[in-house]
Amino acid sequence: MSPRPVVALVLAAGAARRLGRPKASLPLADGRAALDHVLDAAAGVVRAVVVAGHAPEEVERVLAARAARGEAAPAAACVVNARWALGRTTSIHAGLAALPPPGAGIAAPPPPGQGEPSPALDVLLWPVDVCLVGAGVVAHLLAARAGAPDADGWVPSHAGRRGHPVLLAPPLQAALRTLAEDAPARDAVRAAAAAGRLVHVEVDDPAVLWDVDTPADLARTLAEHARRRAGPRGAAPPRDPAAPGDPG
């Protein structure tokens, strides 16, 4: 059986109160929005679902601009989570509920002689403010999945800390669907890890640990993005060692 198709689930619903502006449309050093960078890095997946909430017009604006530029990969749709203020898990629930149904014409054809495509999907769970991760990290996750296809999830790690995006097999998606709205997604991820069902994929890119919650975070992210555009990756922007790196 061929590998399950992958759909990116991008979380972009929060109010970003500490930052003071919507995260999805944040321009990076090249003028492109944070959401653009996430979708560019996820271009190899079959589809993307972007969950909006506080400022859905910002998500729609970025997606409309991508369409106007002819950037069709991956095909992306916006889903509005009316319960976004109750926490990130509500956005995960909304995104999982919006996934294409099994057999919705997105399964890649299997290689000759290798049977029918799987009707199930894997989900690449990606907060929109983890926006400096490149396509190479996605490739590492997919390679790890090929090496351990029976795992429930594959998570990028750097310096011993779990980061984003996280690739979720159907069992871990099911665990997330059953979480209470006020329970953090990391509870399901940690349970999978405790059961030996989570594969940690070591990557050399510390950006899997970086998010943008404050103006200081944004300034560091912009500086690092400018360094990366100028040439080989420079030194990592300093982060509070207590800053969260766990999925969720």
Q: Tell me: the pLDDT tens digits for 80-106?
A: 999 999 999 999 999 999 998 765 555
pTM strictly above 0.75 = yes
121 closest CA partner among 140, 139, 94, 98: 98
pLDDT at 233: 47
| Arithmetic mean of pLDDT, 134-159 | 96
CA 12 remoteness from chain centre:
10
Q: Architecture of 6-230 per CATH?
A: Alpha-Beta Complex (3.90)
- Position 234 pLDDT exceeds 70: no
61 neighbors 33 (Cβ within 8 angstroms): no
155 neighbors 197 (Cβ within 8 angstroms): no
Confidence of residue 114 (pLDDT cuts 50, 70, 90): very low
Q: How far apart are CA 139 and CA 72, in angstroms?
A: 20
Asked whether the CA dihedral 29, 80, 248, 154 is positive or negative, the reply is negative
| Arithmetic mean of pLDDT, 64-86 | 93
pLDDT at 82: 96
Q: Give the other-Cβ count within 10 Å of 219's Cβ.
A: 12
pLDDT at 197: 97
Question: From residue 166, how far is each of 51, 52, 119, 132, 133 by CA, in Å?
Answer: 16, 19, 20, 15, 12
50 closest CA partner among 12, 82, 14, 22: 12
173 neighbors 123 (Cβ within 8 angstroms): yes
Average pLDDT, the chain: 87
Tens of pLDDT, residues 184-227: 999 999 999 999 999 999 999 999 999 999 999 999 999 999 99
pLDDT at 100: 80
pLDDT at 133: 96
Q: How far apart are CA 172 and CA 187, in angstroms?
A: 11
The 8-class DSSP code of residue 46 comes to S
Confidence of residue 119 (pLDDT cuts 50, 70, 90): low
- Position 113 pLDDT exceeds 90: no
| Arithmetic mean of pLDDT, 71-86 | 93
113 neighbors 2 (Cβ within 8 angstroms): no
pLDDT at 1: 59
Domain boundaries, the chain: 6-230
Q: How far apart are CA 124 and CA 113, in angstroms?
A: 28
pLDDT at 101: 73
The 8-class DSSP code of residue 152 comes to S
DSSP H helical segments within the chain, as ranges?
34-41, 56-68, 88-97, 135-147, 170-177, 186-194, 215-230
